[in-house]
Structure 1
Amino acid sequence: MSIDMHFRAVPAEEIQEDFNRLTEFMLAAWDKHSEEYASGVSTSISKAFSHVNDFFTKGSDRGSGPSGPSLLPVYGGRHIEDPAHIDLGFLILDPDQVRVAAEFLQTPFDTLWKVDGAQLYGWNEAEMKHFHFGLRAFYQRAASAGHAVIKVVWA
């Protein structure tokens, strides 16, 4: 079974904070994920998104409180709940939060990797580099365009 976290940049004014409309929009985007990924408006992380979040938030000086910069790239954002409580719902970062996430992701990889005992967490350095640089590029493009970001987990 595949579990993916899907990230989609979108102009903030186009977001309709209605669960059903977000579901339709994100399902259509997921159907075109390859093209959207190639154009830079979409990215995804398969299975490892929890590890990527941990990688960004470990370390006492990363501002990882409920709305801290290190939490924004993966699990941060305003939650739009599934009214039926079946799915996890959506997370939405407004353009200012996208900018803050992009700024956080400018942190050099080696600085993030130097977490005490990083290997103890079971992280693979090459894999984390791939995710770090992929999310950095995605958030940088979204921030440069002034876009918001919608996130959803697909199972």
Structure 2
Amino acid sequence: MCTHQRRTQLLTAIAEWVRRCDQDVLARLGCPFDPFTDRFKAPGERTLRDVFARFVPAILTAAGLGIAHSINKSWDAVHDLYTAANALSTDADEPWNLPIYGGRPVPHSADADPSDPPLMLLEPPEVSQAAQFLTAVSFDELWSVVEARFSALGWTKQEHIEHHRDLQEFYGQAASAGHAVVKAVWA
């Protein structure tokens, strides 16, 4: 969970980024299309703040922000879980990097706060690849690789399987809709 200040900075960074997006990116993000202007409409910062204040995936989707999801978790731990797939596979594409840290960095504007999190854009083909990885990978096999280390840190199998299922659902829905995914991960 991020602090109020960090959440405010994140929403400002997202709003600045989305204002600069091309029409094709807004379309891939699932933004609403305005037939009167013949353009996709980017949500403003106020809309983002209002929606995130009542963070419910269905509301975000209805507001034109595509599908949204948040997991309050140490992302490094979830990424470490997926990196365990490297020990189980020889897939050179490394799809285990996609769900958490994968994607293309999106540069901030010159006047952006340098403490804003980096935004990563995962294009629809990569979203589909992430969804396929999350569906195909055996959670139990991943857990067997990391169990001793994670248990020593007090991390439980139950909390990680819940995050895994949430990510499976999120990426599955985004892939089915043909959406791109924009991620901000606070370190």
Q: Which has the larger radius of gyration?
A: 2
Aligned residue among 133, 137, 149 for 2:169: 137
- The answer to whether residue 152 in structure 2 is matched with residue 125 in structure 1 is no
Q: Please provide the CA RMSD for this pair.
A: 3.5
SS at match of 1:92: strand
Once the two structures are TM-superposed, the CA of residue 80 in structure 1 deviates from its matched residue by 1.2
The answer (yes or no) to whether the contact 1:2–1:47 under 8 Å persists in 2 is no
TM-score by length of 1: 0.73
Which of residues 19, 28, 31 in structure 2 aligns to 1:12? Answer: 28
1:18 maps to none
Calculate the TM-score normalised by the size of structure 2.
0.62
Tell me, yes or no, if structure 1 residue 112 matches structure 2 residue 142: yes
Alignment of 1:1-155 (within 5 A): 2=2, 11-12=27-28, 24=45, 27=49, 30-36=52-58, 41-58=67-84, 59-62=86-89, 68-82=94-108, 83=110, 84=112, 85-106=114-135, 107-115=137-145, 117-121=146-150, 122=153, 123-153=155-185
Q: Identical aligned pairs, as a percentage?
A: 33
Rounded Cα–Cα distance in structure 2 between residues aligned with 1:22 and 1:151? 16
Secondary structure of the residue aligned to 1:105 is helix
Q: Which moved more, 1:72-81 or 1:33-42?
A: 33-42
Evaluate the alpha carbon distance shift between residue 63 and residue 42 of structure 1 in structure 2; reply closer, same or farther with a 3 A threshold: farther
* Higher-strand-fraction structure: 1
- CA contact 1:62–1:70 (8 Å) conserved in 2: no
Question: How far does residue 120 in structure 1 lie from its aligned partner after superposition?
Answer: 1.2
User: How far, CA to CA, are the matches of 1:144 and 1:78 in structure 2?
Assistant: 21
4+ long deviations beyond 2 Å:
1-6, 21-33, 35-40, 58-65, 81-86
Name whichever structure is richer in helix by fraction. Answer: 2
Deviation of 1:54 (Å): 0.8
Distance of 1:23 and 1:68 partners within structure 2: 35
Following the alignment from structure 2 to structure 1, what is the Cα–Cα distance between the partners of residues 123 and 161?
26
1:31 maps to a residue whose letter is: A
For residues 165 and 58 of structure 2, the distance between their equivalents in structure 1, rounded to whole angstroms, comes to 17
Provide the C-alpha distance between the structure 1 equivalents of 2:79 and 2:44, rounded to a whole number of angstroms: 23
Partners of 1:86 and 1:33 lie apart in 2 by 23
Q: Which runs of 5+ in 2 are unaligned?
A: 11-25, 32-41
Q: Structure 1 regions of 5+ residues with no counterpart? A: 16-20
Q: How many residues align?
A: 145
The Cα shift of 1:38 comes to 8.5
